[in-house]
Structure 1
Amino acid sequence: MTGFRHGGQMDSGSQRDKTPVEGPEVLPLGSTALLLRFGLTVTPRATAAVQALHDMLDKADLPGVTEILPSLASVMLRFDPAKVTRADLAARLATLTGTRDWHAAEPRPAMRLWQVPVAFGGVHGPMLEEASALAGLSPEAAVRQVAETELRVLAIGFAPGQPYLGLLPEGWNLPRLSDLAPQVPQGAVTVAVRQIVLFANASPTGWRQIGRAAFRPFRPEARDPAPLRAGDALRLIPCSGDELEALLHTGDPDGGARCQVRA
């Protein structure tokens, strides 16, 4: 995903996070895209501003724009140069964003809530104890806190359909591993910098695996290969290891997940 660095640092609770979020810089990106960037450092406020900006652009009349992709501190717009020039689009974006108070920006309520079964700890979450200790919690309290947090899909990136979810409470502003884990399985639930990544495919990672889901975020055989969308809400519902094994055995890509459409 353009404009997104895997595992961007979350400057949670810092002086930078206490300063107002200014309007986004409008920057050229390649020959057919613009990047609206709130900063080089990811903060909770910048992330909230990105979600609000994505909502605004999604509803705006922007002729020639072919794709809008949010990241953690920026939003990318791809455009058709046969229908709009870069200069005209940049001017339109400056007008749209110039009057908004981005310091107080809030995303609109999520229209969809996913409930995804996850087995925490044990063979499915081999680093739960380490991660919970770093967060200052017992493993049981850590699972409870994660399960009680309504997460948002902040961005899709690093791999097709793969969601970055957040934000967890500030105690979860954990550093990445100093050395990569050789591989986590598809469905691995990993944590770092107040975010959770639900892995779409088996992959090496510098994030700590605390659980696993049978839900598949990327389904190349399906009409809609990436069921999660930026802005969706998501809750991780604890299940037992045996229950997860049964869900994996069915081969159902939903893995027991339910999607509720909110009014």
Structure 2
Amino acid sequence: MSFPIIRTAGLNGMLVTFADQLTEPSNRATLAFCQAVEASAWPGVLETSTSLASVYIRFDVEALRHEALEALLVELLDQQNWQQAQLPPGRRLWRVPTVYGTDLAPQLAEAADAAGLSEAQAIESLGSARVRVLTIGFAPGQPYLGPLGVEWNLPRQTELTPQVPVGALVLAISQFVLFATTAPTGWRHVGQTGFRGFQLRAEDPIALRPGDEMIFNPVSRSDYDRFCSEDSHFGGASREEIPA
């Protein structure tokens, strides 16, 4: 199969797919191409969104025919190698205080063992990783983050964990997921944060954007408790603009 591929998605959608699996270049292409579609401001395009390796475009079929939109997409795709494109501007780097292990994140030891590391080595590896918000999905404001190193290419569990709390940092398949709501999961709960990725009544309910980057800095339980008491929204997380 030759990528990128343009396909129809329902009556009023089109999907541009850059790969059949997640890689850093395919996600880079997805983010950059989505931003380029938005900047083009084509009449009739109503909405865009991204997954790990695809861009979805919803459009008004009375204002823009399928054939016309496909022609615009082909022309834009031909402008450059999108897998080598610059990432979009306006991205932020978040530094999030995180407790690894303890009773708050009880599956760190299991994940470390599966990766062939000690708990201390696992915390060093995970706590120093700078990961990208690859996409947001499953629940409002919930990011998939990565890629992590190959040692963390761990399969999901064979059984579900009945529930993890908001702010849980879970791990599988060389990715983190930062839970924005309480939910069951088949991913291993290795860290706990005070980060609230979705706040319904906030001016901007979804905190993160695809393309943002995050570092989950290891902290002690006492520091975590203090950060959460001082900042009930983000648990002491800081953010800064990433230079273009």
Q: Which amino acid aligns with 1:200?
A: A
Selected match of 2:210 from 213, 217, 230: 230
The alignment's TM-score, normalised by the length of structure 1, stands at 0.85
How far is 1:249 from its partner? 3.9
Tell me which residue corresponds to 2:34.
54
Does residue 1:149 correspond to 2:129, yes or no?
yes
2:155 to 160, 175, 187: 175
Looking at structure 2, the residues matched to 260 and 183 of structure 1 have their Cα atoms a distance apart, in angstroms, of 32
Identify if the C-alpha distance between structure 1 residues 131 and 250 changes in structure 2 by more than 3 Å, giving closer, same or farther: same
User: In structure 2, which of residues 158, 176, 181 is the aligned counterpart of residue 196 of structure 1?
Assistant: 176
Deviation at 1:98, TM superposition (A): 2.6
Q: Distance in 2 between matches of 1:29 and 1:197?
A: 26
- How far apart in 2 are the matches of 1:51 and 1:22? 19
Evaluate the alpha carbon distance shift between residue 40 and residue 136 of structure 1 in structure 2; reply closer, same or farther with a 3 A threshold. Answer: same
Q: Please give the per-residue CA displacement for 1:2-21, whole angstroms capped at 9, x wherever unaligned.
A: xxxxxxxxxxxxxxxxxxx9
Q: May I ask how many residue pairs the two structures share in their alignment? A: 243
Amino acid at match of 1:34: M
Contact conserved, 1:110 with 1:233, CA < 8 A, in 2?
A: no
Q: Which residue of 1 aligns with 2:78?
A: 98
Q: Deviations over 1:186-212 (max 9, x none)?
A: 110001111100000110001000011
**TM-score, normalising length: structure 2:** 0.91
Q: Does 1:255 align with 2:232?
A: no
Kept in 1: contact 2:228–2:236 (CA 8 A): no
**Equivalent residue number for residue 207 of structure 1:** 187
Q: Where do 1:21-170 residues align within 5 Å?
A: 22-102=2-82, 104-105=84-85, 107-108=87-88, 111-170=91-150
Partners of 1:136 and 1:146 in 2: CA distance? 14
Structure 1 segments, 4+ long, off by >4 Å, are none
Q: SS at 1:229's partner residue?
A: coil
What are the ranges of 5 or more consecutive residues in structure 2 without an aligned counterpart?
none
Partner Cα separation in structure 2 for residue 149 and residue 66 of structure 1: 36
5+ residue gaps in structure 1?
1-20
State how far apart, in whole Å, the 1-side matches of 2:191 and 2:77 are: 39
Taking a change above 3 Å as real, the CA distance of residues 149 and 106 of structure 1, as seen in their structure-2 partners, is farther
Does the 8 Å CA contact 1:65/1:77 hold for their aligned counterparts?
yes
Q: Give the AA of the match of 1:240.
A: S
Moved more, 144-153 or 187-196: 144-153
Pairing 1:221–2:198 present: no
Q: Describe the SS at the equivalent of 1:124.
A: coil
| Whole-Å separation in 2 of the counterparts to 1:251 and 1:45 | 35
Alignment partners' CA distance in 1, 2:190 and 2:154 = 13
Q: What is the one-letter code of the residue matched to 1:114?
A: W
Equivalent position SS for 2:103: helix
Per-residue deviation at 1:82? 3.5
Whole-Å separation in 1 of the counterparts to 2:119 and 2:35: 36
